[in-house]
């Protein structure tokens, strides 16, 4: 039998430790474990076999797919997407014989970022707003807002829109997302959306996908 606790859902095979805070509308699926003093915001989706915490903060509308561990030292802001089996770490130089539990390195994934399936985020970095880390990439350095990161080690290969489309600037400093039609400006190595500030929620008419990604290619 599944459990409805207040205004969130948790599957009967999953566990919440003492001191955990779960926001309204959040769903936690099979075989997951939320460790003590962690907080998860509203309207999140936590997949199967996910471990979070202890002492981890996750924002609103975050989607964590199956087989992901979000360890102490990691913070996920609102609207972050974590693909299946992506990996976070919290110690750069782990050794079984040397205890470093008091030395966890901080990793911050900022609003709207995507981390693709099987990507690895080496601890101590910041993933910028709406950045897009491709499947299988290994991130060892800070990632700028909207940057597209691919490969091992991860390198920047252009810029992505909030809708997850690679932007083509041609000979100018402006590019238009093919799906949303929002305009993006690139100046001094920083990308910004012209019509919509980065901290603003997408309006309802832009929050629903229209056609599959390959239709835009």
- Give strand pairing partners of 172: none
Mention every residue, 6+ apart, whose C-beta is less than 8 A from residue 107: 73, 74, 75, 88, 89, 90, 121, 123, 124, 125, 126, 127
Query: What's the pLDDT score for residue 5?
Result: 56
Query: What's the pLDDT score for residue 204?
Result: 92
Model confidence pLDDT, tens digit, residues 14-62: 999 999 999 999 999 999 999 999 999 999 999 999 999 999 999 999 9
Coil vs helix vs strand at 88: strand
Query: What's the pLDDT score for residue 2?
Result: 46
d(CA 74, CA 122): 11
Average pLDDT over residues 141-167: 98
Q: What is the DSSP letter of 128?
A: P
pLDDT at 177 over 80: yes
Coil vs helix vs strand at 205: helix
Gyration radius (Cα) of the chain, Å: 18
């Amino acid at each position: 039998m599944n459990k409805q606790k207040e205004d969130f859902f948790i599957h009967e095979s999953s566990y919440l430790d003492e001191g955990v805070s779960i926001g309204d509308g959040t769903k936690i699926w099979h075989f997951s474990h939320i460790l003590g003093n962690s907080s998860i915001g509203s309207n999140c989706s936590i997949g199967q076999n996910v471990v979070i915490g202890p002492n981890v903060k996750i924002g609103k509308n975050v989607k964590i797919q199956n087989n992901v561990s979000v360890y102490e030292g990691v913070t996920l802001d609102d609207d972050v997407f974590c693909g299946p089996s992506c990996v976070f770490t919290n110690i750069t130089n782990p050794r079984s014989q040397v205890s470093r539990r008091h030395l966890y390195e901080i990793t911050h994934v900022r609003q709207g970022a995507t981390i693709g399936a099987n990507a690895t985020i080496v601890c101590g970095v910041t993933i910028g707003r709406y950045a897009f880390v491709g499947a299988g990439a290994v991130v060892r350095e800070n990632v700028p807002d909207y940057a597209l990161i691919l490969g091992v080690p991860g390198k920047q290969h252009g810029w992505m829109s909030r809708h997850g489309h690679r932007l083509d600037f041609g000979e100018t400093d402006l590019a238009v997302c093919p799906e949303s039609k929002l305009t993006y400006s690139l100046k001094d190595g920083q990308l910004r959306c012209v019509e919509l500030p980065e901290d603003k929620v997408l309006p309802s008419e832009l929050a629903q996908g229209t056609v599959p990604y390959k239709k835009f290619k």
